[in-house]
Amino acid sequence: MLWIPGPTEVRPELLAECARAAIGHRSPQMRELIERLDPHLPWAFGLSAGSDAHVGVHSTSASGLMEASLRGVGPRVLSVVNGAFSRRFFQMAELLGKDVERLDVAWGAGVEPAELAERLERDGPFDAVTLVANETSTGVRTPLAPLANVLREHGRAMFLVDVVSLIAGAPVDFDAHGIDFAFAGVQKALALPPGIAVCCASDRYMAGARALERGSWALDPVRILEGHAARKTPATPCTPLYYGLARQLEDISAGVTLAPGTDAAPGAAAWGARFARHERMQARTASWASGHGLELFPAPRFASPTVSCVNAGSLDVGAVVSGLAAHGFSISNGYGDLKGKTFRIGHMGDHTEKGLEELLAAADEVLEVVSVAGPR
C-alpha cells in the first residue's frame, strides 16, 4: 500500500473509472465530462463567492503547469527556494530565460513574511513571485495568508503557487491568499493515478498573460484555460483520468470519501471535513514519532498536513523503509540531501485514520527490530 508522498493509493472505484474506454475529445460526451468538473474545482481551489478566477485541467504532469504558469508572466521573477520542488520552479524560470532571483530559505522552514517584504523592497519590483505551498521534499507547509498581505502591500507581482501536494488535503483559499496562478497534479491528495493536472488563474493573471509573447503552444496557460472554458482541450486529453477526476471530485463534495458517520453536509463542509482528517493524520504521525524519540524535520508550525518528514536520528532509514515494505507498506526515504537522514510518510488523499493506525503499528514493530540492531 502506497504511503509515499505521492503518487498515493487509489480507490478501486476510481481505478474502474480510469479503465473506461476512450471517447472522442471533440464529442458531446467530452463536453459533458468537462462540465462535471466545474462545479467542484472551485472548492478544490477554495475560491471565494463571486470569484472571477478561471479553472482548468490539462494533460500533463504538475511540472508542465509549473512551466505554463511562468510563461504567462513578465521577465522579473523572485523564486522562494526551500526544497527540491521550489528549486525546480527557480530552475525552470532560469531555463525560460527569465531574469530570476532566488530567495533561499533553510530547508525545513517556510519563508518569513518579513524576509519576503525585505526582498521585495530591496530588489523589486518583480513581475512574479514563485512559491511551493507544501514542499513535498521536506514536509514543509508555508502559511500563505501572511505572504499574501506582504504581496498586496508591495505592488504588482503575480503570485504563482505550487499546490501540488496540498490540494484536496488542505484549504488553498486561492482568492483570500491573493494567488494568481495555482496548479497541482492529481496523484497526491486528489488520490488519482498521475497524468493530468489542474490549475486556477486570476483574471488579472489572464489579462497580463494575454498581452505577453508566451512562447509555447502545448504549455500556453491562456490556451489551456480558455480551452477549458470553451470545453475544448487544446490537444487530445487523457480521457480516462478525466473520468477518474470527475468521480473523485463528485465523491469528495458528496462526503463519500469521509469515514462513515462523519457529520458534514455536501459541498464546502465535506471538503472541510476531508482537510480536518489530514490535520488529524499529521498530528497522529507527529505524536507517534515523538513516542519513539523522533522529531519532525520541519519546525512544528511548518508541519505539512499531507507529508510528514521525520528526522531519523541514528535509525537506518533503508532498514525502516524495507522493513515496512515487508509488512506491505511503502514509505519514502528522504529526498536528495535528506536521503538517509529522514523518512517521509504521505498521509494524504483517501487514506483513513484507521489505515494510518495499521501503518504505525507495523512501524512500531519495524522500529523495535531496527533500534535493537543499533545505530549505523
Ligand X SMILES: Cc1ncc(COP(=O)(O)O)c(C=O)c1O
309 counts as binding ligand X under rule CB under 6 A: no
| Closest among 329, 326, 334, 328 to 347, alpha carbons compared | 329
219 counts as binding ligand X under rule CB under 6 A: no
The answer to whether the beta carbons of residues 367 and 329 sit under 8 Å apart is no
Least Å from the CB of residue 26 to ligand X: 27
Nearer to ligand X, 65 or 258 (CB): 65
DSSP structural state of residue 143:
P
Only segment of 161-169, 224-232, 285-293, 311-319 that touches ligand X (CB under 6 A): 161-169
202 counts as binding ligand X under rule CB under 6 A: no
The answer to whether the beta carbons of residues 113 and 150 sit under 8 Å apart is yes
Grid cell digits, residue 149: 498581505
Query: Amino acid identity of 370?
Result: V
Number of residues that bind ligand X (CB under 6 A): 12
Binding to ligand X in span 31-70, by CB under 6 A: 61-63
| Closest among 12, 1, 75 to 248, alpha carbons compared | 12
320 counts as binding ligand X under rule CB under 6 A: no
> Hey, what long-range contacts does 246-252 have (CB within 8 A, 24 or more apart)?
246/17, 246/33, 246/36, 246/37, 247/13, 247/14, 247/17, 248/14, 248/186, 248/190, 248/191, 248/192, 249/36, 249/37, 249/40, 249/41, 249/44, 250/36, 250/40, 251/13, 252/40, 252/43, 252/44, 252/168
342 counts as binding ligand X under rule CB under 6 A: no
> Using CA atoms, how far apart are residues 36 and 38, in angstroms rounded to an integer?
6
* Candidate residues 6, 46, 227, 349; the one interacting with ligand X per rule CB under 6 A: 6
The binding track of 104-133 with respect to ligand X, each residue x by CB under 6 A or -, is ----------------------------x-
* Candidate residues 127, 162, 220, 251; the one interacting with ligand X per rule CB under 6 A: 162
Nearer to ligand X, 62 or 252 (CB): 62
Least Å from the CB of residue 92 to ligand X: 10
> Using CA atoms, how far apart are residues 5 and 270, in angstroms rounded to an integer?
23
Least Å from the CB of residue 140 to ligand X: 10
Nearer to ligand X, 162 or 180 (CB): 162
302 counts as binding ligand X under rule CB under 6 A: no
* Candidate residues 3, 43, 45, 85; the one interacting with ligand X per rule CB under 6 A: 85
170 counts as binding ligand X under rule CB under 6 A: no
Neighbours of 15 (CB within 10 A): 13
Which positions touch ligand X (CB under 6 A)? 6, 61-63, 85, 132, 136, 162, 164-165, 185, 194
